[in-house]
Chain A
Amino acid sequence: MQFAIPNYYTYNTFEFARVLIIFYTLAFMKYLHNIGTYFIMIKDMFRKPTKWSVLKTLILKDIDDLIIGSLGIVAFIAFFVGGVVAIQTSLNISNPLIPKYLVGFATRQSIILEFAPTFISIIMAGKVGSFITSSIGTMRVTEQIDALEVMGINAINYLVFPKFIALTLYPFIISIAMFLGILGGLAACVYGGYGTLEDYIEGVQNDFIPFHMAYAFIKTMVFAFILATIPSFYGYFMKGGALEVGKASTTSFVWTSVVIILVNYLITSLLLG
C-alpha cells in the first residue's frame, strides 16, 4: 500500500492559512467597526436632548426599573456572600500567631475592594444589562424606534440617556452591598461561633485607608457607565426578530462582563498598582 501525500495537500495548507487570515482580518474589522459605532452612539446620546418634561418621567421610570428593582437581589447576595467570606477566612486561619481580628479585616477589604463593586456589577450585567438589551431590542424589532425617528426624535438620547442618568445612582446600590456584606460577615462570624463581635468590629475598623473607598467608587461609576451603555448598544443596533432579541441579550451580557473585568484590571493597576 502506498501513502503518497497528494500534492494538492500543500496547496490546501496555503489556502487554509489564507482563509484564516482573511477570516481574522474581517472579524477584527468588525470589532473595530462595533467599537466605532459604540462611541458614535455615546456622542449622539448627548445630542439634541429630549424635552425635559418627557425626559423626567423616563428617568423616574428607569430609576424604578434599574435601581429600585435591583435592591432586593443585591442585598440578598451581598449579605450571604459576606457571610461566606467571613467563614472561609476564619476556617483558613489555623496559625495562633495571626490576630483574631483578621476575619473582620479580610472581610471588609475583599468586600469593599472587589466583591461589592466588581462582583455585583457582573450580576447587574445579567440582571439590568439583559433587561436593557431586550427592552430596547424589542422596540427595534417592533419598529418603535423607527416610530421615534420618524417623529424627528433623537432615539438614542430618548432611550439611553435616562438609563445613564438613572445609573448615576448606582453607587447607592454598591454602598448598600458593602454595608450588608460586612454585616453578613459579622452575623456569620458571631452566630456561627467563628469569633467574637468585638474582634470582628476591631478588624473592620483596623487600618482603614480612605483611598480604598475612593478607588471602589471610581470603579463603581465607570461600571455604571458601562452597564448603561453597552447593553443599550446591543439592543439599539440589533437586527432581526424575537429570536435575535434573546441572542442579543446573551451577547450583551458576555461583552458587558468582559469589559467590566478588563476595565477593573486597568483601574486597579492604575490606582493601586
Chain B
Amino acid sequence: MIEVNDLHKSFGDAHILKGITTSFEKGKTNLIIGQSGSGKTVFLKCLLGLFEYEQGSISYDGKVFSNLSNDEKTEVRSQIGMVFQGSALFDSMTIAENVMFPLRMFTKQSKSEMQDRVDFVLNRVNLDDAHHKMPSEASGGMQKRVAIARAIVNKPKYLFCDEPNSGLDPKTAIVIDNLIQEITDEYQITTVINSHDMNSVMEIGEKIVFLKDGLKAWEGSKETIFKTDNEVVTDFVYSSELFKKVRKMYIEENQ
C-alpha cells in the first residue's frame, strides 16, 4: 500500500502537481489516467523518488519515505520494479543479462539460480527464445515485455509502469495489460500504472485516479467510471466516437 498526502511539485515557476492526496492498494492494479501533460509521469517519478518535491509526503506500507535513513531508502528501492515509458533497457547487455541485472545487483544467488529465475520470468512474459538478442534487435512489444520481466525478476513489492502499452497494437497492448494484472494478483504487488488508454482502463482499472492540471479530479474504478457524472471525466472518457457509441448502447441497455 502506498499513501500520498498533499503532494506538491514545481519546476521553477511551473507548478505541476498542486496537492495530490490518494492511495494505491496492494494486490491491485492502480491506474493513473489523464490527458497528456497532466503530470502523470512527474507524479510517478515523485513516487519513485527520482524527483524531489516541495511539500507533502509519500509512504510505503506506513513508512514515510523522506524520513528513512539512506540504508532504509536503498532497502525500499530494492523492492521497487519500474517499467519506463521507453523501456530503458541497458543497450550494452543482452535481454537475458538485462533481466538478470537486479539479481546480480541485489542478491547473493549462484549463477545457476539466477539463470533459472531469468528463464522463469522470461517464460512468464512469453519470451522463451530471445535470451541472447540485444535490445536493439527486439521489437517495441518485446522490449516492453523484457522491461516487465526485469521489473518483476527480483519479486518487487511495488511495481510502477509508465504507459506500458503506448505504441503497441491493441492486441499486444491487452496481452501486456493482462500480464501485469496477473502478476500483480499472483505476487500481491502494489502496482501503479500510468495510462491514457481507455482499453487499459476497461481491462485492468481496479482503482483509477484521474489527474487534471496537477490535481486529482476524480477517483474510482472501472465499474464506476462509466456511471460518473463528473464532467472532467466524461469529457476524457467519451472523447472518441467508439466510447460515445459504447455509452449510448450502455444507456439503451439499461432503459
A53→B104 contact, CB < 8 A = yes
Q: Taking the complex as formed, is B32 at the interface, i.e. its CB lies under 8 A from any CB of chain A?
A: no
Q: Taking the complex as formed, is A147 at the interface, i.e. its CB lies under 8 A from any CB of chain B?
A: yes
Q: Taking the complex as formed, is A198 at the interface, i.e. its CB lies under 8 A from any CB of chain B?
A: no
Output the least CB separation between A48 and chain B (Å): 8
A-binding segment of B80-88, B164-172, B180-188: B80-88
With a CB–CB cut-off of 8 A, which chain B residues contact A144?
Answer: 88-91
With a CB–CB cut-off of 8 A, which chain B residues contact A50?
Answer: 105
A151→B78 contact, CB < 8 A = yes
A147→B105 contact, CB < 8 A = no
A51-B104, A152-B77, A153-B105 are contacts. A147–B86 as well, Cβ < 8 Å? no
A143→B88 contact, CB < 8 A = yes
Q: Taking the complex as formed, is A15 at the interface, i.e. its CB lies under 8 A from any CB of chain B?
A: no
Interface residues of B in 74-116 (CB under 8 A from A): 74, 76-78, 80, 82, 84-86, 88-92, 102, 104-106
A51-B104, A54-B104, A144-B91 are contacts. A152–B74 as well, Cβ < 8 Å? yes
A152→B78 contact, CB < 8 A = yes
Residues 150-163 of A, flagged 1 when their CB comes within 8 A of B and 0 if not, give 11110000000000
Chain B residue nearest in CB terms to A138 = B91
Q: Taking the complex as formed, is B73 at the interface, i.e. its CB lies under 8 A from any CB of chain A?
A: yes
Chain B residue nearest in CB terms to A154 = B74
Instruction: Provide the bound-state CA to CA distance between A53 and B114, in Å.
Output: 14
With a CB–CB cut-off of 8 A, which chain A residues contact B102?
Answer: 151
**8 Å CB contact of A152 from B73, B84, B91:** B73
A150→B104 contact, CB < 8 A = no
A53-B104, A54-B105, A153-B105 are contacts. A147–B73 as well, Cβ < 8 Å? no
Output the least CB separation between A23 and chain B (Å): 19
Output the least CB separation between B255 and chain A (Å): 49
Output the least CB separation between A5 and chain B (Å): 40
With a CB–CB cut-off of 8 A, which chain A residues contact B49?
Answer: 150
Interface residues of B in 7-66 (CB under 8 A from A): 45, 48-50
B88→A146 contact, CB < 8 A = yes
A143→B84 contact, CB < 8 A = yes
Instruction: Provide the bound-state CA to CA distance between A27 and B127, in Å.
Output: 51
With a CB–CB cut-off of 8 A, which chain A residues contact B45?
Answer: 146
5 A-B contact pairs sorted by A residue (CB < 8 Å):
A61-B92, A142-B91, A143-B85, A147-B90, A153-B105
Contact surface of A with B, Cβ cutoff 8 Å:
50-51, 53-54, 61, 138-139, 142-144, 146-147, 149-153
